[in-house]
Amino acid sequence: MEFINVFIKTAFIENLVLSYFLGMCSYLAVSKSVKTAFGLGMAVIFVLGITMPINWLINEYLLSEKGLFGIDLTFLRFILFIATIAAMVQLVEMVVEKFSPALYAALGIFLPLITVNCAILGGSLFMISRELSLSNSVAFGLGGGFGWFLAIIAIAAIREKIRYSNVPPALRGLGMAFILTGLMGIAFMSLMGIDPAAFASK
């Protein structure tokens, strides 16, 4: 059950935001209310879960030496990955708009933001540097997205509450958000005690 293992690891222990700073821009910009944070979080899970296996296939069958062209094209990786991500985001946007207007109303405005969310490209690049298999890359995508979702929901909820607290004026807003993220990062470190292998063996 390596799938569960990778999922738990990326969602809780190696959280994309809290330990790798991925997707910080939208994380800080869209975390003023829980409702919008929820929408963006869902969109990230969705897009990460789709783009990682696609990029895996591109890397394996187009770019690597074993691939279609038989030569090492990995130096074109950045361009192809980001183009795939941009194209997928646009595709998802069109499909969602056509088939589920309600979901589109909730997710729509966030989708363009996601192309430049570092967590998406970061996921694909980590997948390559860690030499994940196809199924593990799906687990990494879903787990990473879920971890990101958790982090943004948590910070949004805290930021909603902290508005009523007496924070020094200069620290209000952004400054406090950074410090909170740091504290959350330390809190998440306590999850390092989880042994993912224990889940896998059950």
Partner 1 sequence: MAETAVKEKEPLIGFGKTERRLLTDPLNDNNPITVQVLGICSALAVTSLVYPAVVMAIAVTLVTAFSNLFTSMLRQYIPKSVRMIVQLVIIATLVTIVELILKYFNYPIYKQLSVYIGLIITNCIVMGRLEAFAMANKPWRSFLDGIGNGLGYGAILIIVAIIREIFGKGSLFAGSPIELKIIGPTADYLINTTQSALFGWYTNNNLMVLPAAAMFIIGILIWIQRSYNSKLVDVS
Partner 2 sequence: MDRNSSTYILGFVFILTASVAVALTGLREVTNEKAIQNEDIFNKRAILSALEGELPDGKTVDQLSDADVAAVFAAMEQPVIDMQGNVVEGEKAENIDLAQERKKPEADRHLPVYIYENGGEKFYILSVRGKGLWDEIWGTVVLKSDLNTISGVAFDHKGETPGLGAEIKDNPAFRGQFKGKQIYENGNYVSIKVRKGGAQNEQHEVDAISGSTVTSDGVTEMLYRGIKYYEPYLKNLQ
Residues that bind partner 1 (CB under 8 A): 18-25, 28-29, 32, 75-79, 81-83, 86-87, 112, 115-122, 125-126, 128-129, 163, 168-179, 181-183, 185-186, 189
Stretch 92-131 residues interacting with partner 2 (CB under 8 A): 129-130
Collapse the DSSP code of 28 into the 3-class scheme (helix H, G, I; strand E, B; otherwise coil) and give the result: helix
**Plot region of 71 (φ>0 → left; ψ -120 to 50 → alpha; else → beta):** beta
Stretch that binds partner 2, among 32-40, 50-58, 74-82, 180-188 (CB under 8 A): 74-82
Least gap, CB of 3 to partner 1 (angstroms): 22
H-assigned helices in the chain:
2-8, 16-20, 24-29, 34-58, 77-99, 101-107, 111-115, 118-129, 134-162, 174-189, 196-201
Residue 122 binds which entry of partner 1, partner 2, none, with Cβ cut-offs from 5 to 8 Å by kind? partner 1
Residues in Cβ contact with 24 at an 8 Å cutoff, skipping those fewer than 6 apart: 17, 118
Asked whether position 134 contacts partner 2 by CB under 8 A, the answer is no
Instruction: Pick what 14 binds: partner 1, partner 2, none; C-beta below 5 to 8 Å, kind-dependent.
Output: partner 2
Cα dihedral 69→140→14→152 (10° resolution):
120
User: What radius of gyration, in Å, describes the C-alpha atoms of the chain?
Assistant: 18
Nearer to partner 1, 174 or 197 (CB): 174
Tokens of 185: 């990062």
Q: Considering the complex, what minimum distance in angstroms separates the CB of residue 76 from partner 2?
A: 7
Binding positions for partner 2, rule: CB under 8 A: 9, 14, 75-76, 79, 129-130, 192, 195
